[in-house]
Amino acid sequence: MSFQNPVFIPGPTNMPEAIRKACDMPTIDHRSPLFGQILHPARAGVQEVLKSETAEVFIFPSTGTGGWETALTNTLSAGDKVLAARNGMFSHRWIDMCTRHGLEVQVVEAGWGDGIPTETFAEILAADKGHTIKVVLATHNETATGVKSDIAAVRRALDDAGHPAMLFVDGVSSIGSMDFRFDEWGVDVAVTGSQKGFMLPAGLAIVGFSGKALEAQSTATLPRTFFDIADMAKGYDNNAYPYTPAVGLMNGLRLACETLLTEGLDNVFDRHHRIASGVRRAVDAWGLELCAASPNLYSDTVSAIKTPEGFNATDIVTRAADSYGVAFGVGLGEVAGKVFRIGHLGSMTDVMALSGIATAEMCMVDLGLDIKLGSGVAAAQEYYRGTLGATLKAVA
Ligand SMILES: *Cc1c(COP(=O)(O)O)cnc(C)c1O
């Protein structure tokens, strides 16, 4: 593996030098006011990235998975019912976590490549007259399949049914890269981690809680210690933590938020859309298809690309690592061996994406797939040349 090449996995993502350096700092006393100068701007920055005026932001030394656990254990009790769709590895793992915590999960099975079936959600919510469903879980961007779901439509399903269930959204591979609207969508808990849109190493679970989700603490009896947001909130009041914070990572997070907000969130989202669109042009030129079933589901942070029947897609990932020192993502779960993934989120440009597309092309030709060298690169080049305005806006 080469340290010179960018990675094309959908997290951890490439780190801008300045953000990497911000994580590398001398030891400070985390119970001193100096820590407050990192903690408070980091929390305020995350709130703004979530497009929220009110979300209470908590940052744990953990990963996105710890964020799921924070969401569940602070708001629910064993036996509580939650509604979730399974359409990929990450929604599957969140469901698995619920089951292990003794929650009753009503699972709506969806195709791996489909989005959240919001019409089915609407029917289930409308039929739940007794309001037994306490939470609806939604994975905004299924990183395993490159599928984006419509969170606003999930909110509408709740509202149309007049259903009071809370809405928890896994935004681990969307927040900071794709449009996410905590307040407008009526999200009650948003979950993410440091190593995707925030362009940091893994090591932080980042969550935003609505007022309603905060209130749910008073009745929630699931055991929680490390992830207790009440303990965390008490610490924040004193510029501190209930235990030792990951100070360097939080300093990186502070700068990552500043970087995203300086570029402008809408410019960040446009940049991701443009880069992703170029990758999709390449996939099309190769004569291949995305795992995502239709264009409205295409993710702007990761593309899962189906390879021909009988071909092991994982071989592309192995070849790229062994021969070219480049990392792509393998297929997970039901789509293992059937897709390979190009991650194109975080610190990414059109020029970087072209190198990934070129490398994928070399690997596919090396492995005997019927693909013409340069075909995908040329298609992406044409698209990038023709949409330069967007980049200039992002850089300005
Ligand atoms: C990466 C990811 C996770 C898991 O996050 P970790 O930080 O690895 O615990 C959860 N959900 C989605 C959608 C992801 O992409």
Ligand 1 center from residue 65 Cα (angstroms) = 6
β-bridge partners, 190: 169, 208
Ligand 1 center from residue 61 Cα (angstroms) = 15
Q: Which residues of 56-81 are buried (b: 16+ CB within 10 A; e: fewer)?
A: bbbbbbbbbbbbbbbbbbbbbeeebb
Q: Which atom of ligand 1 is nearest to the CA of 173?
A: 15
Helix (H, G, I), strand (E, B) or coil at 104: strand
Q: Which atom of ligand 1 is nearest to the CA of 67?
A: 9
Q: What is the pLDDT of residues 245-272, one digit of tens each?
A: 999 999 999 999 999 999 999 999 999 9
Q: What is the pLDDT of residues 198-212, one digit of tens each?
A: 999 999 999 999 999
Give the pLDDT of residue 75.
98
Ligand 1 pocket, Cβ-based, cut-off 6 angstroms: 11, 63-65, 90, 139, 141, 143, 170, 172-173, 193, 202
Give the mutation target among 91, 141, 147, 170 for probing the ligand 1 site: most ligand atoms within 8 A of CB.
170
Give percent above pLDDT 70 in the chain. Answer: 98
User: Is 90 exceeded by the pLDDT of residue 1?
Assistant: no
Ligand 1 center from residue 393 Cα (angstroms) = 30
Contacts 24+ apart (CB under 8 A), 234-241: 236/39, 236/43, 238/31, 239/31, 239/32, 239/33, 239/35, 239/36, 239/39, 239/40, 240/30, 240/31, 240/35, 241/30
Q: Which residues of 324-359 are buried (b: 16+ CB within 10 A; e: fewer)?
A: bebbbbbbbebbeebbbbbbbbbbbbbebbbbbbbb
- Residue 318's contacts (CB-CB under 8 Å, 6 or more residues apart) are none
The residue whose C-alpha atom lies closest to atom 14 belonging to ligand 1 is 172
Q: Which atom of ligand 1 is nearest to the CA of 171?
A: 13
User: Is 50 exceeded by the pLDDT of residue 216?
Assistant: yes
Q: What is the pLDDT of residues 34-88, one digit of tens each?
A: 999 999 999 999 999 999 999 999 999 999 999 999 999 999 999 999 999 999 9
pLDDT band, very low/low/confident/very high, at 2 (cuts 50, 70, 90): confident
Give percent above pLDDT 90 in the chain. Answer: 96
Average pLDDT of span 88-116: 98
User: Tokens 């995908």 appear where?
Assistant: 376
Ligand 1 center from residue 355 Cα (angstroms) = 25
Average pLDDT of span 308-325: 98
Ligand 1 center from residue 249 Cα (angstroms) = 17
Ligand 1 center from residue 380 Cα (angstroms) = 28
Q: Which atom of ligand 1 is nearest to the CA of 205?
A: 7
Q: What is the pLDDT of residues 74-97, one digit of tens each?
A: 999 999 999 999 999 999 999 999
pLDDT band, very low/low/confident/very high, at 396 (cuts 50, 70, 90): very low
Ligand 1 center from residue 90 Cα (angstroms) = 7
Give the pLDDT of residue 391.
54
Ramachandran bin of 165, using left for φ above 0, alpha for ψ from -120 to 50, beta for the remaining angles: beta
Residue type, 56: E
Give the mutation target among 62, 69, 172, 300 for probing the ligand 1 site: most ligand atoms within 8 A of CB.
172
User: Is 90 exceeded by the pLDDT of residue 390?
Assistant: no
- Output phi, psi for 4, to 5 deg: -80, -35
User: Is 90 exceeded by the pLDDT of residue 395?
Assistant: no
Ligand 1 center from residue 39 Cα (angstroms) = 23
Residue among 85, 95, 74 nearest 188 (CA) = 74
Ligand 1 center from residue 63 Cα (angstroms) = 8
The residue whose C-alpha atom lies closest to atom 5 belonging to ligand 1 is 64
The residue whose C-alpha atom lies closest to atom 1 belonging to ligand 1 is 172
User: Is 70 exceeded by the pLDDT of residue 393?
Assistant: no
Residue 195 DSSP one-character state = S
Q: What is the pLDDT of residues 343-388, one digit of tens each?
A: 999 999 999 999 999 999 999 999 999 999 999 999 999 999 999 9
Give the mutation target among 112, 137, 143 for probing the ligand 1 site: most ligand atoms within 8 A of CB.
143
Residue type, 96: D
Residue 367 DSSP one-character state = T
Question: Number of C-alpha atoms within 13 angstroms, CB side, residue 158?
Answer: 21
Q: What angle do CA 29, 32, 33 make, to 5 degrees?
A: 135
Ligand 1 center from residue 161 Cα (angstroms) = 30
Q: Which atom of ligand 1 is nearest to the CA of 63?
A: 7
